[in-house]
Amino acid sequence: MINFSYTIWILLLPFLMFLLLGLAGHKLKAKLSGLLGTFGLGIITFLSYLTAYKYFFTSEKIDGAFQKITALNFTWLQFTDKLHIDMGVLLDPISVMMLIVVTTVSFMVHIYSLGYMKGEKGFERFYSFLSLFSFSMLGLVLATNIFQMYIFWELVGVSSFLLIGFYYQKPSAVRASKKAFIVTRFADLGFLIGILILSFNTKTFDFISLTNPSGAAISQGSSIGFLGLSVMTWSMIFVFLGGAGKSAMFPFHIWLPDAMEGPTPVSALIHAATMVVAGVYLVARMFPIYAISAPVALDVVAYVGAFTSLFAAVIACTQTDIKRVLAYSTMSQIGYMMLALGVAKYGGETGLGYMASMFHLFTHAMFKALLFLGAGAIIHSVHSNYMTDMGGLRKYLPITHITFLIACLTISGIPPFSGFFSKDEILAAAFQSNKFLFAVEYAVAGITAFYMFRIYFSIFWGKDTQYQHTPHEAPATMTIPLIILAIGAAVSGFIPFNKLVTSDGKILETGINLVIAIPSVLIGLLGIGIAYIMYRRESTIPDKLAAMFKYSYKWAYNKFYIDELYLFVTKKIIFRYIAVPVAWFDRHVVDATMNTIASVTQGVSFRIRGFQSGQLQKYAFVFITGAIMLAVLFIYLWK
Amino acid sequence: MAANQIMFVLFSAMIVIFSILTVTSRRILRAAVYLLFVLVSTSGLYFMLNYQFLAAVQLSLYAGGIVVLIIFSILLTSHISQKFESSGLKKNIFSAIAALAGATLSIITILDYNFSATTEAAKEVTMKLIGSSLLSVNYDGYVLPFEVISILLLAAMIAAIVVAKKGAPKPTELPNINQE
Amino acid sequence: MNSGIPLQYFLILATVMFFTGVYGFLTRRNLITILMSVELILNSVNINFMAFNRFLYPNKLEGMFFSLFIIAVAASEAAVAIAIIINIYRRFTTINVEDVNEMKF
Amino acid sequence: MDILSLFVVIPVLTITAILLLKDTRQVRVVSAFGMGLQLLMAGTLVFLYLSARHAGNSDEMLFVKDYLWFKSLNIHYSVGVDGISVAMIALTSLVVFAGIFASWEVEFLRKEFFVSLILLATGVFGFFISIDLFTMFLFYELAVIPMYLLIGIWGTGPKEYSAMKLTLMLMGGSALLLVGLLGIYFNSSPDANRLTFNILEISKVVIPLPAQRIFFPLTFVGFGVLGALFPFHTWSPDGHASAPTAVSMLHAGVLMKLGGYGAFRVAIFLMPEAAHELSWIFIILTSISVVYGAFGAIAQKDLKYINAYSSVSHCGLVLFAVLMMNQTAMNGAIIQMISHGLMTALFFALIGMLYGRTHTRIIYEMGGLMKIIPFLGVCYVIAGLASLGLPGLSGFVAEATIFVGAFQHPELFYRIVTILAVSSIVITAVYVLRVIAILLLGPTTNEHFEHLPDARWFEKISVVTLIGSVAAIGLAPFWLSSMIGTSLHPIIDKIIALNPF
Amino acid sequence: MSSGTFLIMRHELLLIAAALLVLIAEIFGNPEKKSRISLFSIILMGIITAVGFLPSPAGELFGGMYVSSGTRLIMKNILNIGALLVFIQSVTWLNKKENSSKVSEYFILLISTLVGMNLMISAGHFLIFYIGIELATIPIAALAAFDRYKNKSAEAGIKLILSSALSSGVLLYGLSMIYGTTGSMYFNEVSGLFHNNNLQILGFIFFFAGMAFKISIVPFHLWTADVYEGAPVNITSYLSVISKGAAVFILMIILFTVFPVIVATWQKTIFVTSILTMTIGNLFAIRQQNLKRFLAFSSISQAGYIFLGLIGGNQLGMASVIYYVLVYIFSNLGAFGVVIAISNATGKENIDDYNGLYHTNPKLSLIMTLALFSLAGIPPVAGFFGKFFLFTGAAQKGFYLLVLIAVLNTIISLFYYLLVVKAMFINKSENPIAAFKSDFYTRFALGICVAGIVITGFASIIFEAIRNLSFGI
Ramachandran sector of residue D455 (left: φ over 0; alpha: ψ -120 to 50; beta: rest):
beta
Tell me: do B7 and B63 sit in the same domain: yes
What DSSP string runs through A484-532? Answer: HHHHHHHHGGGS-HHHH--TTSS-------HHHHHHHHHHHHHHHHHHH
Are D131 and D79 contacting, i.e. CB atoms less than 8 angstroms apart? yes
How much is the pLDDT for C3?
A: 63
pLDDT reading at B177 higher than 60: no
**Total domains in the fold of chain C:** 1
What mean pLDDT is reported for chain E?
89
Q: Residue B27 pairs with which residues in a beta bridge?
A: B83
pLDDT of residue D228: 85
Note whether E230 and E150 are within 8 A (CB). Answer: yes
Whole-number pLDDT of residue A563: 75
B109 and E202 within 8 Å at the Cβ level: the answer is yes
Q: Provide the pLDDT for residue B180.
A: 34
CB of D424 closer than 8 Å to CB of D418:
no
Average pLDDT, chain D: 86
The minimum CA-CA distance between A603 and chain B, rounded to whole Å, is: 27
Looking at the partner chain, which of B22, B51, B72 has a beta carbon nearest the beta carbon of C40?
Answer: B22
Q: Does B21 lie in the same domain as B62?
A: yes
Least confident of B74-88, B134-148, D164-178: B74-88
Residue A462 has pLDDT above 80, yes or no: no
Portion of chain D with pLDDT greater than 90, in percent: 3
What would you measure as the largest C-alpha separation in chain B, in angstroms?
86
Nearest CA in chain C to B79: C94
What SS3 class is residue A167? coil
Nearest to B95 among A621, A627, A632 (CB): A621
Domain that holds residue D188: 3-498
Looking at the structure, tell me whether residues B148 and B99 fall in a common domain.
Answer: no
- Give A470 or D376, the one with higher predicted confidence: D376
Give me the half-sphere count of Cα atoms (radius 13 Å) on the Cβ side of residue A1. Answer: 9
CATH number for C75: 1.10.287.3510
Percent helix, percent strand, percent coil in chain A, to nearest 5? 75, 5, 20
- Quote the CA–CA distance of A537 and D200 in Å, as a whole number: 87
Indicate whether B18 belongs to any domain.
yes
In a domain, residue B17? The reply is yes
User: What tens digit of pLDDT does each residue of A570-581 get?
Assistant: 777 777 777 888
Residues of D in contact with A570 (CB under 8 A): 430
Q: What is the 3-state secondary structure (H, E, C) of chain B?
A: CCHHHHHHHHHHHHHHHHHHHHHHCCEHHHHHHHHHHHHHHHHHHHHHCCCHHHHHHHHHHHHHHHHHHHHHHHHHHCCCCCECCCCCHHHHHHHHHHHHHHHHHHHHHHHHCCCCCCCCCCCCCCHHHHHHHHHCCCCCCCHHHHHHHHHHHHHHHHHHHHHHCCCCCCCCCCCCHHHC
E369–A contact, CB cutoff 8 A: no
Is the domain of B75 the same as that of B151?
no
Angle at E104 between CA E102 and CA E110, to 5 degrees: 100
Is residue B69 located within the same domain as residue B2?
Answer: yes
The stretch A123-128 carries a mean pLDDT of: 84
Interface pTM, i.e. ipTM: 0.91
Cα–Cα distance, A198 to A282 (Å, whole number) = 14
Nearest by CB to residue E145, choosing from C63, C73, C84, is C84
Cα separation, A333 vs B22, in Å, equals: 111
* Residue B148 included in any domain: yes
Cα angle vertex E324, ends E322, E329, to 5°? 100
**E residues 118-147 closer than 8 Å to D (CB):** none
Give the residue among D357, D380, D359, D393 at the shortest CA–CA distance from D437: D380
Q: Rounded to 10 degrees, what is the CA torsion of A316, A317, A321, A326?
A: 40
Indicate whether C103 belongs to any domain: no
Q: Quickly state the pLDDT bin for C45 (edges 50, 70, 90).
A: very high
User: Angle CA(E336)–CA(E340)–CA(E346) in degrees, nearest 5?
Assistant: 140
| Closest alpha carbon within chain A to E157 | A616
Residue B173 has pLDDT above 60, yes or no: no
Q: Does residue D208 come out as left (phi exceeding 0), alpha (psi in the -120 to 50 range) or beta?
A: beta
User: Is A476 in the C-facing interface, judged by CB distances under 8 Å?
Assistant: no
In this structure, is residue C35 part of a structural domain?
A: yes
As a whole number of angstroms, the distance between CA D494 and CA D100 comes to 40
* C105 within domain boundaries: no
**Same-domain status, B1 and B56:** yes
Considering only CB atoms, which residues of chain A are within 8 Å of chain E?
Answer: 598, 601-602, 604-606, 608-609, 611-612, 614, 616, 618-620, 622-627, 630-631, 633-635, 638-639
**DSSP secondary structure, A361-413, as one string:** HHHHHHHHHHHHHHHHHHHHHH---BGGG---GGGT-HHHHHHHHHHHHHHTT
Domain assignment of residue B71, yes or no: yes
Q: What is the CATH number of the domain that holds B57?
A: 1.20.120.1200
Residue B176: pLDDT band by 50, 70, 90 thresholds?
Answer: very low
With CA atoms as reference, the chain B residue closest to A627 would be B102
Residue of E nearest to D166 (CA): E415
Mean pLDDT calculated for residue range E401-414:
91
Looking at the DSSP assignment, which residues form a beta bridge with residue D302? D362
Query: Is residue B81 pLDDT above 70, yes or no?
Result: no
pLDDT reported for residue B168? 55
The mean per-residue pLDDT over the stretch D130-148 comes to 89
Q: What would the mean pLDDT of A231-248 be, rounded to a whole number?
A: 87
Is residue B177 in a domain? no
Task: Tell me how far CA of residue E150 lies from CA of A183, A187, A231, D283, E161, in angstroms.
Answer: 78, 80, 86, 63, 17
Q: Could you tell me which residues are beta bridge partners of residue A62?
A: A65
Mean pLDDT for the stretch of residues A203-217: 81
The residues, any chain, with a CB within 8 Å of residue A78's CB and separated by 6 or more, are A84, D478, D481, D482, D485
Contact with chain A for residue B68, Cβ under 8 A: no
For A482-491, what is each residue's pLDDT tens digit?
888 888 888 8
* Contact assessment for residue E460 and residue D69, using Cβ atoms and an 8 Å cutoff: yes
Cα–Cα distance between A179 and A258 in angstroms, integer?
Answer: 8
pLDDT score at D232? 86
Nearest CA in chain B to A621: B95
* Cα A4 from chain centre: 28
Whether residue E294 lies within 8 A of chain C, CB to CB, comes out as: no
The β-bridge partners of A386 are: A321
Q: In 10 A of CB B2, how many CB atoms?
A: 11
What count of CB pairs under 8 Å joins A to B? 19
Q: Which of A477, A269, A492 is nearest to A363 (CA)?
A: A492
**Model confidence band, residue E77 (pLDDT cutoffs 50, 70, 90):** very high
Q: For residue B151, what are the domain limits?
A: 125-166
More confident call, D117 vs A30 = D117
Answer yes or no: do B17 and B95 share one domain.
no
Beta bridge partners of D81: D62
**CB–CB contact D178 E403 (8 Å):** yes
What pLDDT does B85 receive? 66
D75 contacts on E by Cβ (under 8 Å): 460
Q: How many CB atoms lie within 10 A of CB A472?
A: 10
Q: How many angstroms away from the CA of A251 is the closest CA of chain D?
A: 17
Task: Give the pLDDT confidence score for residue E115 in this predicted structure.
Answer: 93
How many helices, marked H, and strands, marked E, lie in chain A?
27, 4
d(CA A22, CA E64) in angstroms, rounded, equals 91
With cut-offs at 50, 70 and 90, classify the pLDDT of residue E450: very high
Which pLDDT does position D501 carry in this prediction?
47
H helix and E strand count, chain E: 21, 2
- For E79-111, write each residue's pLDDT tens digit: 999 999 999 999 888 888 778 778 888 999 999
Secondary-structure percent of chain E, ordered helix, strand, coil, rounded to 5: 80, 0, 15
User: Which pLDDT does position E87 carry in this prediction?
Assistant: 92
Name the percent of chain D lying above pLDDT 70: 99
- Check if E351 contacts A (Cβ < 8 Å): no
Contacts of A624 in chain B (CB under 8 A): 98-99, 102
Q: Which subunits have 3 or more CB–CB pairs within 8 Å of chain E? A: A, B, C, D
In this structure, is residue C14 part of a structural domain? yes
CA distances from E146 to C81, C84, D324, E156, E232 (A): 13, 10, 67, 10, 7
Same domain, B62 and B42: yes
Most confident stretch, A162-171, A358-367, C19-28: C19-28
Least confident piece of the model among A471-480, B55-64, D411-420: A471-480
Q: In this structure, what are the phi and psi dihedrals at residue D30, rounded to the nearest 5 degrees?
A: -65, -45
Q: Please give the backbone phi and psi of residue B174, each rounded to the nearest 5 degrees, phi first.
A: -75, 140
Distance from CA of D182 to the nearest CA of E (A): 6
Q: How many CB atoms lie within 10 A of CB A144?
A: 25
| Conformational region of residue E437, where left means phi above 0, alpha means psi within -120 to 50, and beta covers everything else | beta
Co-location of B96 and B77 in the same domain: no
Q: Return the exposure string of D380-401: e unless at least 16 CB atoms fall within 10 Å of the residue's CB, then b.
A: bbbbbbbbbbbbbbbbbbbbbb
Q: Which chains are adjacent to chain C, needing at least 3 Cβ pairs under 8 Å?
A: A, B, E
Going from the C-alpha of A403 to that of each of A108, A260, A400, A417, the distances in angstroms are 14, 21, 5, 12
The answer to whether residue E308 scores a pLDDT higher than 80 is: yes
Same-domain check for residues B75 and B90: no
* N-term to C-term CA, chain C: 54
Residues whose CB is less than 8 angstroms from the CB of residue A24 and which lie 6 or more positions away in sequence, other chains included: none
Domains contained in chain D, number = 1
DSSP classification of residue A611: G
CB D334 within 8 A of CB D484: yes
What SS3 class is residue E42? helix
CA distance C97 to chain A (A): 7
Contact residues for A440 (Cβ-Cβ < 8 A; gap 6+): A306, A309, A310
Mean pLDDT of chain C: 87
B41 and B107 belong to one structural domain: no
Cβ–Cβ < 8 Å for C62, C97: no
- Exposure of B118 by Cβ count < 10 A (0-12 exposed, 13-18 middle, 19+ buried)? middle
Same domain as B95, residue B79: no
Touch test C–B: 3 Cβ pairs or more under 8 Å: yes
Please give, one letter per residue, the 3-state secondary structure of A273-342: HCHHHHHHHHHHHCHHHHHHHCHHHHHHHHHHHHHHHHHHHHHHCCCCEHHHHHHHHHHHHHHHHHHHHH
List, for residues D25-77, the tens digit of each pLDDT value: 788 888 888 889 989 998 898 888 888 888 887 778 888 888 888 888 888 88
Strands A225-226 and A84-91: unpaired
User: What distance in Å separates the CA atoms of residue A176 and residue A263, rounded to the nearest whole number?
Assistant: 12
Q: Which residues of chain C does B24 touch, with a Cβ-Cβ cutoff of 8 Å? A: 24
Asked whether residue B171 is domain-assigned, the answer is no
pLDDT given at position D498: 62
Is pLDDT above 70 for A222?
Answer: no
pTM of the model: 0.89
B and D adjacent (3 or more CB pairs under 8 angstroms): no
Query: Inter-chain contact B178–E433, Cβ cutoff 8 Å?
Result: yes
Identify from A616, A622, A624 which residue to disrupt to test chain C contact, counting C C-beta atoms within 10 A and taking the largest count: A616
Q: Which domain holds residue C71?
A: 7-92
Indicate the pLDDT class of residue E116, thresholds 50, 70 and 90. very high
Higher pLDDT, residue B42 or B140:
B42
Q: Which of A319, A423, A410, A416 is nearest to A371 (CA)?
A: A410
Contact (CB<8Å) D295/A578: yes
In degrees and rounded to multiples of 5, residue A460 shows phi and psi of: -95, -20
Cα separation, E260 vs E314, whole angstroms = 11
Q: Looking at the predicted structure, is the pLDDT value of residue A206 above 60?
A: yes
pLDDT tens readout for residues A535-581? 777 667 777 777 777 777 777 677 677 777 777 777 777 777 778 88
Residues of C in contact with E229 (CB under 8 A): 103
CB contact under 8 A, D407 and A169: no
Residue A172 buriedness (CB in 10 A; 0-12 / 13-18 / 19+) = exposed
Which of the residue ranges A72-86, A500-514, D194-208, E363-377 would you say has the lowest mean pLDDT?
A500-514
Instruction: Tell me whether residue B180 is in a domain.
Output: no
How far is Cα E119 from Cα E67, in angstroms, rounded to an integer? Answer: 9
Q: How many C-beta atoms lie closer than 10 Å to residue D278's C-beta?
A: 17
Question: For residue C98, what is the nearest residue in chain A, using CA coordinates?
Answer: A615
